[in-house]
Structure 1
Amino acid sequence: MTVVRDAATVIVLRDRAHSPKVLMGRRGSKAAFMPDKMVFPGGAVDPGDAEVPLRGLPERICLERLAEGCDPTISGALAAAAVRELWEETGLILGTPGDWPDAPPDWARFAATGHRPSASGMRFVFRAITPPGRTRRFDARFFLLDAEQLSSDPDDFTHAEDELSALSWVPLDETEKLDLPFITEVVLAEVASRIDDPAPPPSVPFFRNSDEESHFLRLGRRGPLP
């Protein structure tokens, strides 16, 4: 049985009010998970993410939704993983100025920029578990972030690692032309529905795919979607 790993994904939204765009990149053709697909930056939670001292956290309602049905301590680890994956895959910084002399090894490059990580401004908007039968399975939490919250130039990808190629700001109304995973299409529809409302959502869609059955639920509201 394939182990389901906790994961965090970041949807960075730019020019929300006028011509909204989202940041996406292409996974490599030899990637074990979703090869050649256009995706948002993100990845699995690392064991050390729970110990990362974040300068800021998502709003309380987001933390409550993240913890629903889970170990409450997972919320901070997911937020830290989102900041780390955004940095590793795009080179973009979500943090506040400050020295971090005791940063863990996998945060050393981030710390060298003169910033401490902060998840303030991220909003939890979607959760989905990869269906059974895939080579890898993730319990992915999707965070929405306005580009204005970044502490770096949103067009500077020079510090990105090589996991994603063709990093670009894609107009939201043109994403349907891309080769996207099904779940990414669903999440984009949710993002589009929230363009005019920057507040954290009171309830969060959840595709819960277990080995026995699948449900489309909402965290923060009991029962299936109508």
Structure 2
Amino acid sequence: MTADKTAIRNAATVIVLRDRMSDPAILMGQRGAKAAFMPNKFVFPGGAVDAGDADIPLASPLPQVCLDRLYENAPKGLQNALAVAAIRELWEETGLILGTPGSWTGDIPTDWQSFAATGHRPAAHALQFVFRALTPPGRPRRFDARFFLVDADEIQGDLDDFTHASDELSHLQWIKLSEARRFDLPFITEVVLAEVEGRVTDPTPPASVPYFHNNDEASLFLRLRGYPMPEVD
């Protein structure tokens, strides 16, 4: 049997949870019919980490417990890039701003100019790392995706204003958490939804993070409990 040679890209996905204590809803959109990866499926905003994401300064970092979980079984120094990618993809695909008011200094990368024009800097303190999944072998594209949960109260501006969104996702909408499974969802999204449902009333980061690891030998559900990052002198 020939081993799968599809390159695996690191990716970040954002689950925005609205009205979590009253009538929880999540933000989702539909991928295009001609998309190479998960065509027609309803998904959370997200995408691959870009080469320049590691160089974008954050106004505030991820919570330390999330940094520790992300550090486990992952390349060194990837945590910042994952957080930046999550914020960038949320902006590009929905037009929603996860950041704090502030001005940028120096040259602003092209991918961030429209975000910077809103008068905000990306901030990661509200992102919570809640799930990780590796796309199974044999798919046209493979991602090592980290899923981040964020409360909609942390979003700047109008939660129903998608006018700045790209056309990558159509039918952007807030879907009641109780009704999400009526939509055409990828298998892994259904698995993540179960995790989100268990965290609706708990605003703190999880003690450990599920990791759905798929390789040529097996599909495994692991738990990421985190390794403290080494101190820098």
TM-score normalised by structure 2 residue count = 0.93
**Corresponding residue number in structure 1 for 2:174:** 169
**Aligned partner of residue 134 in structure 1, secondary structure:** coil
Letter in 1 for 2:187: F
**Corresponding residue number in structure 2 for 1:208:** 213
2:46 paired residue among 39, 42, 47? 42
Letter in 1 for 2:84: A
State the distance in 1 between where 2:181 and 2:73 align: 33
Gaps of 5+ in 1: 222-226
1:111 paired residue among 97, 109, 116? 116
* Pairs aligned (count): 222
1:155-166 to structure 2, matched below 5 A, reads 155-166=160-171
**Corresponding residue number in structure 1 for 2:10:** 6
Q: Which moved more, 1:129-138 or 1:203-212?
A: 203-212
**Aligned partner of residue 216 in structure 2, secondary structure:** coil
**Aligned partner of residue 165 in structure 2, secondary structure:** coil
Is residue 2:144 matched to residue 1:139? Answer: yes
1:93-104 to structure 2, matched below 5 A, reads 93-101=97-105, 102-104=107-109
1:168-187 to structure 2, matched below 5 A, reads 168-187=173-192
* % identity of equivalent residues: 65
Letter in 1 for 2:128: R
* 1:28-67 alpha-carbon deviations (Å, 9 max, x no partner): 0010100000000000000000000000122100010011
Gaps of 5+ in 2: 227-233
**Corresponding residue number in structure 2 for 1:224:** none
**Corresponding residue number in structure 1 for 2:231:** none
State the distance in 2 between where 1:213 and 1:191 align: 25
TM-score normalised by structure 1 residue count = 0.96
**Corresponding residue number in structure 2 for 1:52:** 56
Letter in 2 for 1:141: R
**Aligned partner of residue 22 in structure 1, secondary structure:** strand
How many Å apart are 1:119 and its aligned residue? Answer: 1.1
* CA root-mean-square deviation: 1.2
State the distance in 1 between where 2:14 and 2:157 align: 16
Moved over 3 A (4+): none
State the distance in 1 between where 2:127 and 2:212 align: 20
**Aligned partner of residue 197 in structure 1, secondary structure:** coil
State the distance in 2 between where 1:114 and 1:45 align: 23
How many Å apart are 1:100 and its aligned residue? Answer: 1.6
* 1:95-152 alpha-carbon deviations (Å, 9 max, x no partner): 1111225211111111111111111101000000000000000000000000000112
2:19 paired residue among 15, 21, 24? 15
State the distance in 2 between where 1:146 and 1:77 align: 21
State the distance in 2 between where 1:148 and 1:196 align: 15
How many Å apart are 1:213 and its aligned residue? Answer: 2.1
